[in-house]
Copies of this chain bind each other. A is one copy, B any other.
Amino acid sequence: MDKKLKVGIIGAGRIGRVHTLSLKNFVPEVEIKAVSDICFDAAAKLAEENGIPHAYKDYKKILLDPEIDAVLVCSSTDTHAQISIEAAEAGKHIFCEKPIDLNVDKVKSVLKAVDKANVKFQVGFNRRFDHNFKKIKELIDSGELGELHIVKITSRDPEPPSPEYVKVSGGIFLDMSIHDFDMARYLTGSEVKEVYVAADCRIDPAIGEVGDVDTAVITLKMEDGTICVIDNSRQAVYGYDQRIEVFGSKGQAEVQNDTPSTASWSTAEGVFKEKPKYFFLERYMDSFADEMKSFVDVVINDKEPPVTGADGLITIEIGLAAKKSYEEGRPIKL
């Protein structure tokens, strides 16, 4: 390729910044041409720091630039659907952060627009690109573990979000567990047929007051017979806890948390080890880079996205079923 892929970043917040740095440092095939944010200063700052020629307040300017091949939708969740639809209509390839939308119909509209425009559409389930989880997937795919019987996903945040955030987030199942639903589908290669939730508000009453829970154990019956169990907490005081275990007819595999170093030390007080890497930026940095490499590869080489719009849609359906299971206290079929 003698010409670089030209990319526009829509949304200069935390995740927009992460993707910008990944593209700049690890994806030489890309040139970031513009960044937009409804807070113009954020866009301008990100642009200046990274040598990006254009910064806009209005994302439409990015969509109107005929030179731009692809956009990253990193804006707030409630704008993902609308921007994605417009981007598709503008003929841009799209990388869209999760969740596409909290409303299934709106998600379907996005998929329809993408389909009609025949552009690439990849959803931001970065954990599929994580070195630990990829190893688990490889072990499953190799057949070394036999048929899967049980999958256990531990996914706990180091600190709870603000009640304000919780209110607009769609709740724990659509905001947090959604990554784990995707992981369950990715690892098993099978679809959820029933979901059961045991959950409660144990950490912060304010989360309960806005109608959400902060502690959940979710059981998924998969179509292939695998039983997946996810445990979520909004606050693991020792840090971001992201582990997976899979168990099959021929064996078991598990991954532990990443740590800043492999050190252990012993004194008269006890034996100590490092705490997990603090939160998702530290923990999943390599996966964000590989996610961007993957998206660029999809666009340049006209490949099927590794995480499709359908993946985005189904996980939202599972999340809504989980919410219903919690509310009605019974398993919900999908």
- A208-238 CB mask vs B (1 if < 8 Å, else 0) is 0000000111010100010101010101111
Q: Which residues of the partner chain B approach A267 to less than 8 Å between Cβ atoms?
A: 144-145, 237-238, 250-252
User: A149 contacts the other chain (Cβ, under 8 Å)?
Assistant: yes
* Stretch of A6-14, A114-122, A132-140, A300-308 contacting B (4+ beta carbons < 8 Å): A132-140
Q: How far is the CB of A129 from chain B (nearest CB, A)?
A: 13
Q: Is the CB of B270 within 8 A of A273?
A: yes
Contact of A150 among B215, B237, B256 (CB under 8 A): B215
Q: Assembly of this chain: how many copies?
A: 4
Q: Is the CB of B255 within 8 A of A233?
A: no
User: A26 contacts the other chain (Cβ, under 8 Å)?
Assistant: yes
Q: Is the CB of A152 within 8 A of B150?
A: no
User: A274 contacts the other chain (Cβ, under 8 Å)?
Assistant: yes
Q: Please, which residue of chain B has its CB at the minimum distance from the CB of A156?
A: B247
- A143-181 CB mask vs B (1 if < 8 Å, else 0) is 011110110100010000000000000000000000000
Q: A202-B149, A265-B251 are in contact. Are A273 and B273 (CB under 8 A)?
A: yes
Q: A227-B198, A249-B237 are in contact. Are A215 and B266 (CB under 8 A)?
A: no
- A10-29 CB mask vs B (1 if < 8 Å, else 0) is 00000000000000011000
Interface residues of chain A, those whose CB is within 8 Å of chain B, are: 25-26, 131-132, 134-136, 139, 144-147, 149-150, 152, 156, 194, 196, 198-200, 202-203, 215-217, 219, 221, 225, 227, 229, 231, 233, 235-239, 241, 247, 249-258, 260-268, 270-275, 329-331
If A149-B203, A196-B196, A235-B249 are given as contacts, then 17 extra A-B residue pairs at C-beta distance below 8 Å, sorted by A number, are A144-B265, A145-B265, A145-B267, A149-B233, A196-B198, A202-B225, A219-B219, A236-B247, A237-B249, A238-B252, A251-B266, A252-B266, A253-B265, A266-B275, A271-B272, A271-B273, A329-B331
